[in-house]
Amino acid sequence: MLQMLPYRPLVKSIALATLALSASLSLAQEPSQCQKVTFSDPGWTDIGATNGITSTILEGLGYQTEVFLLGVPVGFESLKSGEIDLFMGNWMPAQSGFIDQYKEDIDQVRTNLEGVKFTLAVPEFVYNAGVQSFADLHKFENQFRSKIYGIEAGAPANQNLQKMIDSNDFGLGDWKVVESGEQAMLTQVNRSVRRDKFIVFLGWEPHPMNVNFDLKYLSGGDKYFGPNYGGATIHTLSRKGYSQECSNVGTLVQNLKFSLTMENEIIGEVLNNAKNPKVAAKEWLTANPDVLDTWLEGVTTYDGGNGLTAVKQHLAL
């Protein structure tokens, strides 16, 4: 025989269920446009590593991600226009001109990496031959063929080098900046090292070049790259108002701080073992899951679930 629940308990049950549903929905309801997260990548392996880490975590949380290969100037314009959500690779002070130009149109989220170097470098045998500072370069003009190998066209570092040449600083007025992508530059470095040829190029850490080559950074470039061999910090930027609009993702990127060791290890897998940056990042996270406790503090899945549990399941931990 069918039994009817007493009226009051039935009402109470419905009310509790409604409250639970409301609470769940309140956690879940970021705007639908927040479920897809877009990144800018200038084609640098270090930014590929951090984009890979962030994308892997976001996908574990139920988000969709897409990375666009954009030169630095186009990337800043895309942040300003709202076409891109995040840029994890704001090198400072090298990109200070872009920050001055766009600071009212973007949000500066946080510093995500410290202890970075970024300045001109030479192979160790060139350093030992007497090229130990920017001021030494012109003495070996013929050996260098009056060329400095930079990165992709439009990069602020290349622009700084061009200013140095235009000003004839260090007697380099007749020199030329060779603009190319990171991989093309490193291929030229590798070729020169194998042939014992002089080469001067933009070097930086984190990057496996510091392990793959015996290289030395040149002193004396403070005017163009800052003190301590271009000592730099890297910052996360977002489009204006993004962390307020998409607060869960905003919390995650506010939590993300990386290390030189982490980035060198991931970049090494990409360059030395031809792995996709996202694959290398996922493998690193699987081997180093303790970082997730801090990175996912206060972060839920897109639909309001436990973020840490979901990401660990995504990594098959």
Token pair listed for 122 = 């030479």
| CA-closest candidate to residue 260, choices 280, 282, 233, 286 | 233
* 217 plus 254 within the same structural domain: no
Mark whether 224 and 260 lie in a shared domain: no
Which residue, of 230, 258, 274, is where some domain finishes?
A: 230
pTM comes to 0.72
Measure the CA–CA gap between 176 and 147, rounded to whole angstroms: 5
Residue 220 and residue 122 share a domain: yes
pLDDT band of 290, cuts 50, 70, 90: very high
The answer to whether residues 188 and 43 belong to one domain is: no
- The reported pLDDT for the residue numbered 137 is 98
pLDDT in tens, 1-40: 333 334 344 444 444 444 444 444 444 468 899 999 999 9
Cα separation of the two ends of the chain:
49
CA dihedral 111, 76, 119, 168 (to 10 degrees): -140
pLDDT of residue 13: 44
Whichever domain contains 131, its CATH number is 3.40.190.100
> How many structural domains comprise the chain?
2
CATH code of the domain containing 39:
3.40.190.10
Residue 154, pLDDT score: 86
Both 79 and 185 in one domain: the answer is no
Contact present, 151 and 202 (Cβ < 8 Å): yes
CB–CB of 181/151 below 8 Å?
Answer: yes
User: 148 and 287 share a domain?
Assistant: no
Same domain, 100 and 150: no
Give the tens place of pLDDT for each residue, 151-169.
Answer: 988 888 999 999 999 999 9
User: Range with the lowest mean pLDDT among 43-47, 56-60, 141-145, 256-260?
Assistant: 43-47
Question: Residue 211: its pLDDT value, please?
Answer: 80
> 261 is in which domain, residue-wise?
33-114+233-314
Are residues 241 and 105 part of one domain?
yes
Is it the case that residue 309 has pLDDT exceeding 70?
Answer: yes
Q: Which residues contact residue 130 at a Cβ distance below 8 angstroms, ignoring those fewer than 6 apart?
A: 136, 139, 140
Residues 143 and 109 in one domain: no
Q: What is the pLDDT of residues 94-151, one digit of tens each?
A: 899 999 999 999 999 999 999 899 999 999 999 999 999 999 999 999 999 999 999 9
